[in-house]
Structure 1
Amino acid sequence: MMTKQLEYFDRQTQQIQQEQIYGGAFLRLLYEKSIGKYLLPILAKPAWFSKLYGLVQKSGFTKRKVAPFIRKYGVDATEFSRQDFKSFNEFFTRTLKKGARPIADAALVMPADGRYLVIPDLSTCDGIWVKGKWFDLAKLLGSEALAEKYQDGALVIARLCPVDYHRFHFPCDCVASQPRLINGYLYSVSPLALVHNIDIFSENKRYITELQTQNLGTIQYIEVGATNVGSVVQTASAAPHAKGEEKGYFEFGGSCVMVLIEKGRVQFADDLLKYSAQKIEVRALMGQPLASIS
């Protein structure tokens, strides 16, 4: 079971850090207190709460929150391509200066800034945050046939926190399909929530895009919505794309990107293997090495 403090390994500093959880008290109320079972059906299952919250974050008066947020969470403002945000959502969906996220030579790179866990072989996985608890792959993908194809494949989970850069990118050269929407709820994807219900991944609203690649087979790229995410915006078309190209962005809220890879295609970076085996996330930046070809 997860401890009260969330820890992750920071690839930049090479140190274990404690996560500052934005809205942590609210999340603990929802997922760790008895009153949460009454509040969750009202706040997470219907879309109205997240839509309303998203609209509030787009209003002009929320821009006053930007500077205090940057100071409190140590966000690097020198990376921003602009500083004149008209709302908190504009800050949240910010773009970065050219070169702020160099793209590594690795076959597969990080698709987003976030906290990463990798599972090299799904057929041997005994759970992520809680031993023995796993989600339904067929339900996640909306397809029994796809689930069978990837049942012994590899999985990447990138958890984006509100403090992170919230645009997501293609992890490799590929030809992308049209994203496929599977409607669902909007539960939090924080480990504070996932430790109580790992099925959140397969219950939340999500988009699935198939990436056809030259050397890595067919990859399933999944964007998972979460509590207070106004929407998932797809900016890329169904077409060929280069590694590191923008695919889309999440509006306000924590969220998640998942990448499913066929069996035997990749070898994950050593730090990801080491810390994922200990159920510790690795914080990494978009464009950094994720995996090489097996």
Structure 2
Amino acid sequence: MTVKSLIATFTQQEDLNFLLTNRVPRAALTRFMGWFSKIEQPLIRDLSIACWRLFSDLDLTEARKTHFKSLHDCFTRELRPGLRPPDPDPSIVVSPCDAIIGAHGAIADTELFQVKGAGYSLLDLLGDPALVDTHRNGRFITLRLTSSMYHRFHAPHDCRIERVNFISGDTWNVNPIALKRIEKLFCKNERAVIQTHLATGEALTLVPVAAILVASIRLHFLDVLLNAQSRGPTAFPCDVSVRKGDELGWFEHGSTIIVLLPDHFEFCDNVKDGACIRAGEPLLRKPG
């Protein structure tokens, strides 16, 4: 097979992937998945998990329990105690989740990028001019959770959660194929903007971004389930202190978390494009 034919085959596979995961009734499919995944009928549960295993690298050996009530129960599984301990170094901000590292780097004034050559603005992402000013010329990193990964996310450092803004939107797939084709994708999807400050005063913002089949984002410190039925943008003032590694919530399928920090934070040596990272592992460091 020639190089030209290999490229053509790869392009066709990308086209098919994009078609099957995006050119579908995304909102309806997501609502259906939210309903279907909670069915606690044993046969449906077992067939669903078996199908999931067939098309992914799902590994349940770290799960706290081995029996699940439903597909949703498996999606949102807890891990056995003692797994994912956060790096104890107080200068380290850790990864909030298991993920594949995507676009990351310096924010150019207020511009970020979802893949090389595809930019978007902080204002489009956050919807808050004051928060945009806070993160101007700062650092950002994109963490993509695949469908088979551990879906819960945790506090990346000791911090105080001050506000959550839920921004309603679409449910495009957030895989690399879609990121190359859909302009400003993260700014179009449903997302929660979680504003926090570290004890040392620096602003740390987490932006969990929903995607197709993500029926909701659950945050433990809010008594509201954030999903397509939420009317947004919706602001939730908070005053919650959390410690590094504390569980914050979960996605009900794979998705993305964007982490924003000031410019004096430096990426740790393990942060590389396409690398896998686990919750609690070093992400950025504050110079001493």
Q: Normalising TM by the smaller chain, what interval?
A: 0.7 to 0.9
Aligned twin of 2:84: 101
Count the aligned residue pairs. 256
Q: CA deviation at 1:172?
A: 0.2
- Asked if the contact 1:169–1:247 (Cα under 8 Å) also holds between the matched residues in 2, the reply is yes
Q: 2 CA distance for matches of 1:126 and 1:211?
A: 20
Which residue matches 1:247? 248
**How far has the Cα of 1:112 moved from its partner?**
0.3
Secondary structure of the structure 2 residue equivalent to 1:209? strand
Match of 1:29 in 2: 19
Q: Does 1:181 align with 2:166?
A: yes
Call closer, same or farther: CA 1:29–1:48 in 2, change over 3 Å.
Answer: closer
Which of 212, 221, 226 is residue 211 of structure 2 equivalent to?
Answer: 226
Structure 1: how far apart are the matches of 2:167 and 2:277? 28
Confirm or deny: 8 A CA contact 2:165 2:194 kept in the other structure: yes
2:155 matches 1:170: yes
Unaligned ranges ≥5, structure 1: 6-23
- Which segment is superposed worse, 84-93 or 230-239? 230-239
Deviation at 1:254, TM superposition (A): 2.4
Question: Which whole-Å CA distance do the structure 2 matches of 1:26 and 1:257 have between them?
Answer: 26
**Which deviates further from its counterpart, 141-150 or 171-180?**
141-150
> TM-score w.r.t. structure 2 length?
0.80
Judged with a 3 Å threshold, the aligned counterparts in structure 2 of structure 1 residues 140 and 205 are, in CA distance, closer, same or farther, namely same
**Over residues 129-183 of structure 1, what are the superposed CA-to-partner deviations in whole Å (9 max), with x where a residue is unaligned?**
232x201210110022322332310001110110100001110000112421111
1:50 aligned residue: 30
- The answer (yes or no) to whether the contact 1:118–1:154 under 8 Å persists in 2 is no
Percent identical: 26
1:213 matched to which residue of 2? 198
Q: Give 1:287's aligned amino acid.
A: G
Aligned partner of 1:130 in structure 2 is 116
TM-score, structure 1 as length reference: 0.79
State yes or no: 1:257 paired with 2:263. Answer: no
Determine which structure has the larger strand proportion and give its number: 2
Listed one character per residue, the Cα deviations across residues 210-246 of structure 1 (whole Å, up to 9, x for unaligned) are: 1111236011111111001111111135410000000
Aligned-residue RMSD, C-alpha: 2.5
Unaligned runs of 5+ in 2: 1-6, 223-237
Superposition deviation, residue 122 in structure 1: 1.0
- 1:207–1:224 contact (8 Å) kept in structure 2: yes
Rounded Cα–Cα distance in structure 2 between residues aligned with 1:96 and 1:178: 28
Corresponding position of 1:235: 220
